[in-house]
Amino acid sequence: MRTLPLIAFSALLPAFLTAQDPGVREFEDRRQTSPAPVQTGDIARSAAIINSMDVLDDSRPIEPGDTISMRIVEDRTEPRQLTVGVTGEVYAPHIGLVKAAGRTSKQLAYEVKRRLEASYYNKATVIVAIDRQRQDDPNARLRYSSSEIDFFTVYGQVLRQGKYELPLDEDITISQAILRAGGFAQFANHEKVKLVRKTPQGNKTIIINLDTIMRKGNLEYDVYIRNNDVIIVDEKKINI
């Protein structure tokens, strides 16, 4: 006859423990509630702190003259601070020039991710944040509104042929120009690189031995690039 109360008590025991143990209630509450929303604001947008592309800003478009930070999580390095040029492009790690103006931080990050995964990574996590928009600099509008934009062009046996902007605040040598174009391709002739420059007397072609500059360190031959210069890297001849 005493077994019935024991059975009833044992049936009520789990509910009693759940009601009395706050740890059990806390576990049940955590399991049933949704995850806390991701923090927004400056901390969430900081390229040095966040590791998820899902929380990147997708509202403010990037403009020429903006300063942005970009970090590839898989590289395990600090963010790189980049200035958006007058053409709206930035020089992204590993892939070179990419269009930034008109895109949000999130859109730019996914474009860089797409290009990185096409050539360099199985998976890339790219973090982009706007550090400073050009309205913060009273001289930026004047500096970036000029229609006179300086460029140089690289053709031939480099990894990325194309037209490149000459920075306003630094001089670029021919060896640095080659590096900005991704470096030499496999069959490039390092010893006879052509630099074509416009002069009042017409186009002038200079033959430069980049091997003696980049391999042997003879920097006195590393000429500076000027507006509208054209660099041509021919393919080296192979005797068969």
CA neighbor of 193 nearest in space, from 228, 217, 225, 150: 225
What is the chain's mean pLDDT, rounded? 76
Q: Is residue 127 over pLDDT 60? A: yes
Which has the higher per-residue pLDDT, 64 or 46? 64
Secondary structure element (H or E) that encloses residue 112, with its range:
helix 105-119
pLDDT digits (tens, 9 = 90+) for 197-240: 988 888 899 999 999 998 888 888 899 999 889 999 998 876 54
Per the CB < 8 A criterion, the answer to whether 165 and 85 are in contact is: yes
Which has the higher per-residue pLDDT, 148 or 212? 212
Note the pLDDT of residue 134. 60
Ordered domains of the chain (ranges, CATH): 42-144 (3.30.1950.10), 151-235 (3.10.560.10)
Note the pLDDT of residue 21. 44
Note the pLDDT of residue 146. 42
Distance CA 100, CA 42 (A): 20
Q: Is residue 86 over pLDDT 80? A: no
pLDDT digits (tens, 9 = 90+) for 20-61: 444 434 333 433 333 333 333 444 346 777 788 998 989 989
> pLDDT band at 141, cuts 50/70/90?
very low
At residue 61, the 3 state secondary structure works out as strand
Given the structure tokens 């660099």, which residue do they identify? Answer: 231
Distance CA 99, CA 215 (A): 32
Per the CB < 8 A criterion, the answer to whether 112 and 126 are in contact is: yes
Q: Is residue 195 over pLDDT 70? A: yes
**Tokens at 20, concatenated:** 């009395």
Note the pLDDT of residue 166. 82
Note the pLDDT of residue 217. 82
Most confident listed range (14-18, 93-97, 220-224): 220-224
Candidate from 62-71, 134-143, 162-171 with smallest mean pLDDT:
134-143
CA neighbor of 65 nearest in space, from 137, 129, 127: 137
What pTM does this model have? Answer: 0.46
CA neighbor of 68 nearest in space, from 53, 90, 51: 90
Neighbours of 182 (CB within 10 A): 16
Q: In the chain, pLDDT over 90 holds for what percent of residues?
A: 29
| Strand partners of residue 99 | 89
**Tokens at 105, concatenated:** 């931080």
Percent helix, percent strand, percent coil in the chain, to nearest 5: 30, 30, 40
Note the pLDDT of residue 30. 37
Question: Once rounded to an integer, what is the mean pLDDT over residues 86-92?
Answer: 80
Angle, alpha carbons 125-128-132 (nearest 5°): 170
Which has the higher per-residue pLDDT, 174 or 47? 174
